[in-house]
Structure 1
Amino acid sequence: MKQVIIIGAGPAGLTAAHELLSRAGKDCAVTILEESEEVGGISRTVRWHGNRMDIGGHRFFSKEERVNRWWAQRMPAQGSLPYDDKVLGRISPVSKGGPNPETENRVMLTRRRVSRIYYNRKFFDYPITMKLQTFRNLGLASTAKAGCSYLASCVRKLPETSLENFYINRFGKTLYGMFFEGYTEKLWGRHPRDISADWGSQRVKGLSVSAVLKDMLKKATGRKNDKTETSLIEQFQYPKFGPGQLWEETTAEISAMGGVLRKGCCVKQIHTSGSRITSVTVQTENGAEEIRGDYFLSSMPIKDLVGGMPQVPENIAKIAAGLPYRDFVTVGLLVKKLNLKNETEIRTLGNIVPDCWIYIQDTNVRLGRLQIFNNWSPYMVAKPDETVWIGLEYFCTEGDSFWNMTDQQCTAFAAGELVRMGILSSPGDVLDSHRERVKKAYPAYFDTYAQMDELTAYLNQFENLFCIGRNGQHRYNNMDHSMMTAFLAADSILTGSTDKEAIWNVNTEKDYQEEKKTEQ
């Protein structure tokens, strides 16, 4: 029997565990070690007084059929909500009491993808479109300047040695300055000129002004079967009670198949012998414990993984120790209404703005993004026809002044920013609040990241070690990317392969992982 130790109960770890147990049966014993008391990682759903928070926002959409099939097996697509998006109606009464996922059907809802930019108290489509409203919001002078800037970027391409040049080449310097420069620095705490272009290559690979124009032309001419960039998709699937519902159900299935999940287990040391990992030492509330295994799948931060290994070469230890991360805080606010008028043709319950999330480009506030949970799924809100449940996303560094605020201070700060932006009338509009802090939410692409290839080569020397997931590979992966690394790692274990190349190559191809064919 293969003894498999999986570090981390996020999407990658849980997918790998489920895959191994469902395919190998009694030939495989799986133990998952999770540092926290929760499952799902940043894809978990937090419950608070009958409301639910999605940490970071998760669209279920992928070009990977293997991922799509796996999602559909866990949660079939229902197709639509209990009310038509075009005709207002009340949602099912069962949702009002704060439904229990364990007693509801496991389904995916089809959601309309609306994400916009809020800049100078005006809404802009994201990605930027060439609609008349865009030009009205920009004004004649700014529109002309942006157009000339974009044409100049088409003639003279900059070397893509930084994220700044990556954006300028695709949008021109003017649009870059309006919509990318300040937001990117807010997100990473570094100016885009100091960040590797790799981040842009993995997150917005084919997105540009030309891609937007091509997409508009295809829709206008009714062309079919053409690829659409991920950021241009119009619909996605979403679990009725948030992404955490999927991972909670998956955890239950793992347990039913004999898998063991141990929460509150922090991996501190990784023991090696030659080219193999032999065991790990975990810290629990009862003290230290050594756990042995035949295979080890790690989704823990590479910095901590290498930091727990013995006799690591000095250069490798230095690279791992220097890998940067960006931490994350979400502040959930329950309010009666937002001072944002729905001027779109999209009808919503309560006629609130239809956005799933809103990017805040204003550099005068610290807020990076605003989620409206009602629009992800009304089942996320205890009283969706009476209140609006929003999530304010802040990017910070663990231990800094923002991270160390008390819950009360953070709530007051967040409400104050919304008032200054005109989104709330006064701090008194807040009916309830909750804060979540997430360590190492975003692997960053600067400092020693440039030497990741050396670190990867070193880790690949351990034939029974497989690095999976976002932090396990120090790569800004989406959920489906993380799942694919888990699928491939499970394949390797079940076939006896020690080749890690395919696992590390997930989300490195030029065509973005989530491109899709236009629906017939």
Structure 2
Amino acid sequence: MADKTAIIIGAGPAGLTAAYKLLTDTDIKPIVLEETGFIGGISRTAEYHGNRMDLGGHRFFSKNEEIMNLWREIMPLQGTPARDDTLLDRKKPLAPGGPDPEKTDRVMLVRNRVSRIFYLRKFFDYPISLKAQTFINMGFSRTMMAGFGYMRSAIFKRKEESLGDFYINRFGKPLYEMFFEDYTEKVWGVHPGKISPDWGAQRVKGLSLSKAVLSILKKPFVGNSSKNVETSLIEEFNYPKKGPGQLWEQLAELVREKGGEIRMNTRVTEIHGENGHVAAVTAAGDDGEATRLTGDYFLSSMPVKDLVCGMCDVPANVREVAEALPYRDFITVGLLLKRLEIKNETKMKTVGNIVPDCWIYVQERDVKLGRLQIFNNWSPYMVEDLENTIFVGLEYFCNEGDDMWTMPDEKFIEFAIGELEKIDVIRRENVLDSVRINVKKAYPAYFGSYARFGEVRDFLDTFDNLYCIGRNGQHKYNNMDHSMLTAIEAVAAICGNKKSKNDIWNVNTETEYHETKSGA
């Protein structure tokens, strides 16, 4: 394979992993083309006035040991989890005898996972627990309805024709209506009854109310290993000291050091293929000048919609499906605060005694806010003045071009502040600084023409040297580790000269994996 070249579209987790694996496992030179000026895609870390934002929230854990080892290879793991839930003191070593954290940037921390649901202006465990406080928060009538609803769902199973059916079968209709229905509609902009159950098959998978209860009973015997419990119930995860983008920036450096090439601000506009073979792509830089790049292999993590639209001689049915593929876009507002109004009523200790959550699912029906991140709790190094300020991220889901997307920054930030104030989380006078970031095509969606996605996949698979990888590359809501696995499988297919792409497409189809909330 000497003197061969692979053109990789996208410098996110999938594209960078593919480049790295090609350099370590083959003699193929990767050329990575990234449309934006940022490394990491939606997994990047955005910085504003010394404070850092994780766009979407990214926990580094996987049931796949190869992925865990690769992360540790890129960025060494330091520290031990704080068993009493105390956040790391930035002035202390990461572990006994370990390095001074102020002098060591490129390390992964071990963090405690806390995520809760905010509903009825109260906190509920996530996933839903059977603690007394849960029933107190719900009230007697809701608790009774939830119990009878769950029993009914356990006896009378629905035919799963939609995501709504999927949830009801696992949690019962009352719990579905309380904790899933409205939030899911916030995320996707359509009712769960109109979304394919494929979403649940990928993101909810093995988790149900009974699994959550069983996990509690098993915990004293099996511990917290990711191999022993449902991933949604994992209590610890790894996290780069300065956010997820730090790891991908480090991987990009390794790719360059090993001889790979990464071209930023370079957008692929055309894919030149015929007779089942891709010969080249045309890419344009900031100056608008187009360049034709030839290669032997082509790995694409660009949105399938854009990939197909950049091709010639596409069958009419395939182009019709691809052009109509739905996506959900994303807006995050970063607010630097003096304080939060919500109190830490848990037994977990935090710097400043703020609530311990990494993120909070906002189930309240009177606001459009979907999720609230507290960056202090992801890593103490995400916030410049950890002792005196709190940096939060408000997450909104929208469609590119809609009213939220086009609203001027200042007006949208004021709207977001008003929503947090409305649900008694902050006071406007405690806002010190703010920023807004829009992200296009953050989430491939499972409705509309997605039902015919197989026609698009079959067409793309006719090209012997084209490999679709990553979240947008497969129009599949992959997490970081699954996106990386698609890249690893693509490189394995190249090395093994495999004609079938099934191993690449089949990543993230096992029956156990991730989150039960329909979010990022």
TM-score, normalised to structure 1's length?
0.94
Identity across matched positions, percent: 56
Shift in Å, 1:322: 1.3
Aligned residues between the structures: 506
Shift in Å, 1:384: 0.9
1:369-402 superposed Cα distances (whole Å, 9 cap, x missing partner)? 0000000001000011111000000000001111
Q: Which amino acid aligns with 1:303?
A: K
Shift in Å, 1:88: 7.3
In the TM superposition, 1:221-260 aligns within 5 A as 227-260=228-261
Between the aligned partners of 2:370 and 2:224, the Cα distance in structure 1 is 36
1:169-221 superposed Cα distances (whole Å, 9 cap, x missing partner)? 11111011111000000100000000000101111111111111111221266
Asked if 1:195 is matched to 2:230, the reply is no
Residue aligned with 1:355, SS: coil
In the TM superposition, 1:108-507 aligns within 5 A as 108-219=108-219, 227-286=228-287, 287-425=289-427, 427-507=428-508
Structure 2 CA distance for partners of 1:102 and 1:383, relative to 1, 3 Å: closer
Shift in Å, 1:283: 1.8
Q: Which residue of 2 aligns with 1:98?
A: none
Asked if 1:63 is matched to 2:63, the reply is yes
Q: Which amino acid aligns with 1:111?
A: R
Contact 2:224–2:235 (Cα < 8 Å) also in 1: no
Between the aligned partners of 1:30 and 1:121, the Cα distance in structure 2 is 51
Between the aligned partners of 2:409 and 2:85, the Cα distance in structure 1 is 38
Asked if 1:73 is matched to 2:98, the reply is no
Contact 2:44–2:244 (Cα < 8 Å) also in 1: yes
Gaps in structure 1 of 5+ consecutive residues = 96-100, 516-520
Shift in Å, 1:455: 1.3
Structure 2 CA distance for partners of 1:88 and 1:398, relative to 1, 3 Å: closer
Contact 1:62–1:514 (Cα < 8 Å) also in 2: no
Between the aligned partners of 1:339 and 1:393, the Cα distance in structure 2 is 19
Shift in Å, 1:21: 1.0
Contact 2:370–2:397 (Cα < 8 Å) also in 1: yes
Residue aligned with 1:211, SS: helix
Between the aligned partners of 2:105 and 2:58, the Cα distance in structure 1 is 20
Between the aligned partners of 2:62 and 2:375, the Cα distance in structure 1 is 22
Gaps in structure 2 of 5+ consecutive residues = 95-100
Contact 2:342–2:425 (Cα < 8 Å) also in 1: yes
Q: Greater CA deviation, 450-459 or 57-66?
A: 450-459
Q: Which residue of 1 aligns with 2:9?
A: 7
Contact 1:78–1:110 (Cα < 8 Å) also in 2: yes
Residue aligned with 2:441, SS: strand
Residue aligned with 1:212, SS: helix
Contact 1:62–1:513 (Cα < 8 Å) also in 2: no
Residue aligned with 2:349, SS: coil
Structure 2 CA distance for partners of 1:491 and 1:436, relative to 1, 3 Å: same
Structure 2 CA distance for partners of 1:223 and 1:495, relative to 1, 3 Å: closer
Shift in Å, 1:509: 1.8
Q: Which amino acid aligns with 2:336?
A: L
Between the aligned partners of 2:429 and 2:84, the Cα distance in structure 1 is 31
Q: Which amino acid aligns with 2:333?
A: V
Shift in Å, 1:105: 3.9
Q: Which amino acid aligns with 2:42?
A: I
Q: Which residue of 2 aligns with 1:518?
A: none
Residue aligned with 1:403, SS: helix
Between the aligned partners of 1:438 and 1:245, the Cα distance in structure 2 is 19
Contact 1:63–1:513 (Cα < 8 Å) also in 2: no
